């Protein structure tokens, strides 16, 4: 009997005596390589009006210059409340659209509606 074979028998016998299962050792390297790919952030489709989309995106993020628009405040509040309810759940927690009522000029309001229509498919 070769020395290698006798060592293998000894190790297997010892493992069996201790109640250990002989499991082949598998490299952990492939498991560490799995995971998600970050990729690039989504960009709007080519058919989108980029200036309106970008302005709407800034308004949605709260990064806009607020202006007093008391005349349109109630109409904006009603529309923005309705839109808030139709947003996906994750987006609802990110933004409070009704709080923007009366702070948006007409261009900002229209851009926000355009952004929501394109980004979240709500009208």
Question: Tokens 């009366």, residue?
Answer: 102
pTM: 0.64
- Is residue 112 within 8 A of residue 59, CB to CB? The reply is yes
Q: HSE on the CB side for 25, CA within 13 Å?
A: 2
With bands split at pLDDT 50, 70 and 90, how would you rate the model's confidence at 37?
Answer: confident
Helix (H, G, I), strand (E, B) or coil at 17: helix
Domain spans of the chain, in order of start = 50-120
**pLDDT at residue 118 tops 60:** yes
Strands (E), 6-123: none
Q: How far apart are CA 5 and CA 30, in angstroms?
A: 30
pLDDT tens per residue across span 42-101: 776 678 899 999 999 999 999 999 999 899 999 999 999 999 999 999 999 999 999 999
Quickly count: other Cβ atoms within 10 Å of residue 33's Cβ: 7
Token look-up 């995106």 returns: 57
Average pLDDT, the chain: 83
Residue 123: its pLDDT value, please?
84
């Amino acid at each position: 009997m070769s020395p290698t074979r006798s060592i293998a028998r000894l190790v297997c016998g010892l493992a069996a005596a201790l109640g250990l299962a002989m499991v082949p050792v598998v490299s952990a390297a492939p498991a560490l390589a799995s995971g998600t790919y970050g990729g690039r952030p989504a960009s709007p489709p080519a058919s989108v009006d980029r200036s309106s989309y970008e302005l709407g995106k800034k308004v949605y993020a709260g990064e806009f210059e607020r202006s007093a628009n008391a005349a349109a405040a109630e109409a904006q509040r009603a529309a923005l409340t309705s839109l808030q309810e139709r947003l996906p759940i994750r987006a609802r927690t990110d933004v409070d659209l009704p709080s923007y009522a009366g702070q948006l000029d007409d261009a900002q309001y229209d851009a926000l509606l355009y952004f929501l229509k394109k980004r979240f498919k709500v009208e």
